[in-house]
Amino acid sequence: MACRRCLPRGANSARRVLPQLLLTGVAQGAIYALVALSMTLIYRATTVVNFGQGDLMMLAAFIVYIGVVLLHADFALAAVVTLIAMVAVGIGIERGLIRPMRGAPHLALTMMTIAIGTVLRGVARYVWGREVLPMPAVFDFDPLILGDLVITADNIAILGAVFLTFAIFMVLFYATGFGRVIQATYQSERGAALIGANVPMIRGIMWGMGALMAGIAGVLVAPVTLLYPDLGANILIRAFAAMTLGGFGSLPGAVLGGFALGIMEQVLGAYVSTSLIDITAYLLIIAVLVLRPAGLLGRRATVRV
């Protein structure tokens, strides 16, 4: 059903609704941006897209849920424990499942990431079934009202976390020696090893950091949405679309792509049809791959032989 029927009639009313749609799109896109950022980190370490990243986010959301709802822990404590656990999970995946496949074709590594995500989703379904679980609100301070624009506590928390995370990793990558080593590893593992870089350790650290960022997304999503085992799969395709639009390997591109996709979903869903919300990510992937395969800020990938 076309959502435009639900909007106030007239150009003035449409203009009044648009700012709120844009804000909602930016807030939703911030979640996509976080997961896209985490996928980009792992891609920069391995040049493999981790299609299990959405399910890592889902895992983090359920860990927070268990801590807050079932164990009655404080949200901050549950969040810290979750993030520590996610770092351990990321390093464990790299050490136990990815590192033994070193030298395998990229397709095999990609299939492994799909298998990891499917297993995590299957375990969640085994434990929780098809149940949809609500979590008590955490960000309960008063919203900020600017004219017709309502900025909720959820919006502020999510956007703040995204920009802070982005700033930290931009500094890490482009203003530290460790970041330069990571970039050297991304360009050529053999070359990085020749200058003394511990490539296996860097891979493990990057997988841990990628899982940490997926954990941040899960911690932020848990209090503002319903939890269910397929939550990560739904976010994954949108994060992949954001990563595709921004350009593989580009941190700013991942953020830009996430925000752009979130805004597109809201605007198209409101002014054209709500059915477009579910397919916007797929349409975006097709359009980018046909018109600009490298994305907005990406560069041509180097083929390793």
pLDDT tens per residue, range 170-192: 888 788 877 777 777 766 677 76
Q: CA–CA distance from 138 to each of 74, 81, 159, 240, 281 (Å)? A: 10, 17, 15, 28, 29
Residue 302: inside a domain: no
Q: Shortest CA distance to 223 belongs to which of 154, 123, 130, 285?
A: 154
* pLDDT for the residue numbered 12: 52
Q: In sequence order, which ranges of 47-146 are alpha helices (DSSP H)?
A: 53-65, 75-93, 106-128
Residue 16: inside a domain: no
The domain tally of the chain equals 1
Q: Shortest CA distance to 274 belongs to which of 18, 7, 23, 2?
A: 2
Distance, CA of 262 to CA of 270 (rounded, Å) = 12
Q: What is the mean pLDDT of residues 78-84?
A: 94
Please identify which residue in the block is written with the tokens 């296996």: 200
Q: Band the pLDDT of 49: cuts 50, 70, 90.
A: confident
- For 244-296, the pLDDT digits (tens) are 998 887 888 888 999 999 999 998 988 888 888 889 999 999 999 898 888 88
Q: Band the pLDDT of 299: cuts 50, 70, 90.
A: low
Residue 13: inside a domain: no
Residue 284: inside a domain: yes
Give the H or E element holding residue 286: helix 280-291
Residue 303: inside a domain: no
* pLDDT for the residue numbered 300: 57
Q: Band the pLDDT of 146: cuts 50, 70, 90.
A: confident
Residue 213: which domain range? 23-127+151-291
Distance, CA of 204 to CA of 214 (rounded, Å) = 15
Check if the beta carbon of residue 101 is closer than 8 Å to that of residue 217.
Answer: no
Which CATH number characterizes residue 172's domain?
Answer: 1.10.3470
